[in-house]
């Protein structure tokens, strides 16, 4: 996993700090500190600065009370980054696979979502995966098909 706290780009460092603060005290289904998820996603989107920033922040609005305006005030996001983050923030009123279909039209959001799905589909992170976990992994496989990235390819 890459060390984004020491990244050459100041906006990446700031995105890392914001994500770390927002996800402090949160744990994933495997009991691991949640910050490891956005760090893994960001490590798997390549070297594009916008992709790294969006990956680091992809769960911040969904998992906190922070608004997009507040996020924008903390990190100067480009219009493309902000748009991708909005697409990646799932409105629970929209069915999941419909939400994923909306993401497909935006290359930046689709790249981050594919890396997100790859990490979330890794059931080896769980001690004892349940039927519910296997069903979720299947839903993520379908989502990758919708994104046109069946094999978890992120290029």
Residues 137 and 26: their CA atoms lie apart, in Å, by 21
Per-residue pLDDT for 112 more than 90? yes
Per-residue pLDDT for 149 more than 60? yes
Average pLDDT over residues 120-140: 86
Minimum mean pLDDT among 21-25, 57-61, 134-138, 146-150: which range?
A: 146-150
pLDDT of amino acid 153:
44
Average pLDDT over residues 88-113: 94
Q: How many CB atoms lie within 10 A of CB 7?
A: 19
- The pTM score is 0.89
3-state SS of 112-124?
HHHHHHHHHCCHH
DSSP string, 9-76: SHHHHHHHHHHHHHTTT-B-TTSSBTTHHHHHHHHTS-S-HHHHHHHHHTTTTTTSS--HHHHHHHS-
Instruction: Fold for 4-147, please state it.
Output: Hypothetical protein af1432 (1.10.3210)
Q: Where are the domains of the chain?
A: 4-147
Span 4-63, pLDDT tens digits: 888 888 999 999 999 999 999 999 888 889 999 999 999 999 999 999 999 999 999 988
Give the highest mean pLDDT range of 23-37, 77-91, 118-132.
77-91
């Amino acid at each position: 996993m890459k060390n984004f706290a020491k990244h050459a780009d100041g906006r990446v460092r700031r995105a890392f700090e914001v994500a770390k603060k927002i996800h402090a005290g949160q744990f994933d289904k495997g009991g691991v500190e949640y910050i490891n998820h956005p760090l893994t996603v960001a490590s798997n989107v390549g070297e594009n600065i916008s992709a790294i920033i969006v990956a680091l922040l992809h769960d911040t609005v969904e998992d906190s009370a922070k608004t997009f305006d507040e996020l924008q005030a903390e990190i100067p996001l480009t219009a493309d980054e902000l748009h991708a983050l909005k697409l990646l923030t799932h409105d629970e009123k929209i069915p999941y696979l419909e939400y994923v279909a909306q993401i497909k039209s935006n290359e930046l959001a689709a790249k981050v979502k594919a890396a997100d799905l790859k990490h979330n589909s890794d059931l080896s992170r769980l001690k004892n995966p349940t039927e519910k976990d296997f069903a979720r992994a299947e839903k993520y496989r379908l989502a990758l098909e919708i994104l046109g990235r069946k094999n978890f390819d992120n290029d």
